């Protein structure tokens, strides 16, 4: 069966394959042109450039639009579709190198492959590298392999000492390698100790060695739904997460190339979980155990998340005003409406009446017995953010995974 070796141009795919020997003979890989002409081989090594789609016009350029794209969208590129759909790939070898090192290799490269004499178009590939959302591409490929149940290994490709080396690493550190911040993979025992901690049970976070933290709250792991509301890629953007729990969303954003984020968490147990997970993953995110209203934050953020927090806040208007002031591009807010199940536990309202009330700008007074302060109709929240606070130009809303709640993004 075939082994797929993939990564961006000049990451070292050919060099890696050339290092492999079978009975003392050099392994000859199959390239895209070979697959287009003769199909996917029954065995051997397949050489695939994850930026190949930029040479193609038969599919969207992944990463140039919204943050989230279904992994199968990668298969709109015909060569990759043929490779994956053949069912012949038994393992994938994913190579990663720092983006700045890739740029240097591209600039110095003369030919497409050693011995073929074909000129390498360095200018074209430098342009591609500059616009590609390479962080998101890697995450999509990992998701594709996981959904298709294709085992994969990740190798850090480095030529820092003048010689090519391929060092084992982990998928959770790919973003670090892309940024030129390589880090060692911790021992499985250390990873499992974090996963077993009672502090980390609030969110599911991917850890090294395919270990994940457990989660008692499945709705809090719907990060793709949250991130899909963003108008563009996260690479290079700043993120604030108010009520960050153990940092799951910030870690997901970091892996998509976001700048070091800031998380605010008042709950001691969840804050301790964020610190545990953050240390293990060498995150650059900063976590504050603090009341958001009392925390001095001077710099604004491209994206501010406030997910399932506002209904715990007494001073909701001051809270929303501060969050809005810290938002440069979009404020992502998840909150309970009058149809929320906790609110229903302390108020008897028929579904018909709730439907009528939701058409008005109303705020519902809830109860401490259900750990809730207020609920809001959409019209009420819109009136607060568009009219009372101001500064927003538009809104997009989609259903929350929690019954009776709304997930909205307010754009500036």
In contact, 213 and 246? CB cutoff 8 Å: yes
Q: Is the pLDDT of residue 64 over 60?
A: no
- CATH T-level assignment (fold) for domain 199-411: Rossmann fold (3.40.50)
pLDDT of residue 299: 94
**pLDDT at residue 281 above 70?**
yes
- How many Cβ atoms are within 10 Å of 143's Cβ, its own excluded? 16
Q: Do domains 2-179 and 199-411 have the same CATH topology?
A: yes
Task: List, in sequence order, the alpha helices (H) in 109-195.
Answer: 122-131, 134-147, 174-178, 188-195
Q: What is the sign of the dihedral through the CA atoms of 37, 40, 44 and 46?
A: positive
Of 193, 191, 219, the residue nearest 206 (C-alpha): 191
Average pLDDT, the chain: 90
CA distance linking residue 62 with residue 20, whole number of Å: 31
Q: Which helix (H) or strand (E) holds 17?
A: helix 13-19
Topology adopted by domain 2-179: Rossmann fold (3.40.50)
CA distance 4 to 183: 25
pLDDT at position 23 is: 61
Beta bridge partners of 321: none
Side-chain-side CA neighbours of 240 within 13 Å: the count stands at: 25
* Strand, coil or helix: 103: helix
Would you report the helix, strand and coil content of the chain in percent, each value rounded to 5? 40, 20, 40
If pLDDT is split at 50, 70 and 90, which confidence band does 66 have? Answer: very low
Q: Pull the structure tokens for residue 78.
A: 């015909």
**For the segment 305-336, what is each residue's pLDDT rounded down to a tens digit?**
999 999 999 999 999 999 999 999 999 999 99
| pLDDT on residue 226 | 62
Q: Name the residue ranges covered by the structural domains of the chain.
A: 2-179, 199-411
């Amino acid at each position: 069966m075939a082994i797929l070796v993939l990564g961006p141009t000049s990451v070292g795919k050919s060099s890696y394959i050339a290092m492999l020997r079978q009975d003392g003979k050099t392994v000859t890989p199959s390239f895209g042109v070979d697959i287009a002409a003769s199909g996917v081989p029954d065995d051997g090594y397949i050489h695939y450039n994850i930026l190949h789609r930029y040479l193609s016009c038969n599919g969207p350029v992944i990463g140039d639009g919204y943050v989230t794209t279904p992994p199968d969208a990668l298969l709109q590129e015909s060569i990759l579709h043929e490779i994956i759909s053949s069912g012949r790939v038994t393992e994938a070898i994913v190579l990663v190198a720092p983006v700045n090192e890739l740029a240097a290799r591209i600039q110095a490269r003369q030919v497409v492959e050693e011995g073929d004499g074909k000129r390498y178009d360095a200018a074209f590939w430098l342009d591609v590298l500059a616009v590609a959302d390479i962080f998101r591409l890697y995450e999509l490929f990992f998701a594709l392999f996981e959904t298709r149940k294709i085992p994969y290994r990740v190798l850090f490709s480095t030529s820092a000492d003048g010689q090519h080396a391929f060092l084992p690493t982990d998928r959770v550190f790919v973003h670090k390698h892309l940024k030129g911040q390589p880090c060692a993979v911790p021992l499985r025992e250390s990873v499992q100790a974090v996963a077993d901690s009672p502090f980390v049970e609030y969110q599911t976070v991917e850890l090294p060695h395919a270990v994940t933290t457990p989660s008692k709250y499945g709705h809090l792991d719907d990060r793709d739904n949250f991130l899909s509301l963003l108008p563009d890629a996260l690479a290079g953007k700043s993120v604030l997460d108010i009520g960050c729990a153990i940092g799951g969303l910030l870690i997901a954003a970091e892996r998509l190339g976001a700048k070091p984020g800031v998380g605010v968490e008042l709950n001691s147990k969840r804050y301790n979980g964020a610190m545990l997970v953050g240390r293990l993953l060498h995150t650059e995110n900063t976590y504050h155990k603090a009341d958001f209203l009392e925390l001095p934050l001077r710099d604004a953020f491209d994206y501010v998340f406030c997910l399932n927090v506002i209904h715990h806040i007494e001073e909701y208007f001051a809270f929303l005003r501060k969050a809005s002031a810290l938002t440069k591009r979009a404020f992502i807010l998840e909150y309970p409406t009058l149809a929320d199940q906790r609110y229903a536990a302390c108020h008897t309202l028929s579904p018909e009446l709730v439907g009528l009330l939701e058409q008005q700008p109303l705020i519902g007074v809830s109860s401490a017995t259900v750990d809730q302060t207020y609920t809001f109709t959409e019209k009420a929240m819109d009136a607060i953010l568009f009219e009372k606070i101001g500064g927003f130009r538009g809104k997009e809303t989609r259903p929350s995974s929690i019954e009776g709640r709304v997930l909205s993004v307010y754009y500036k």
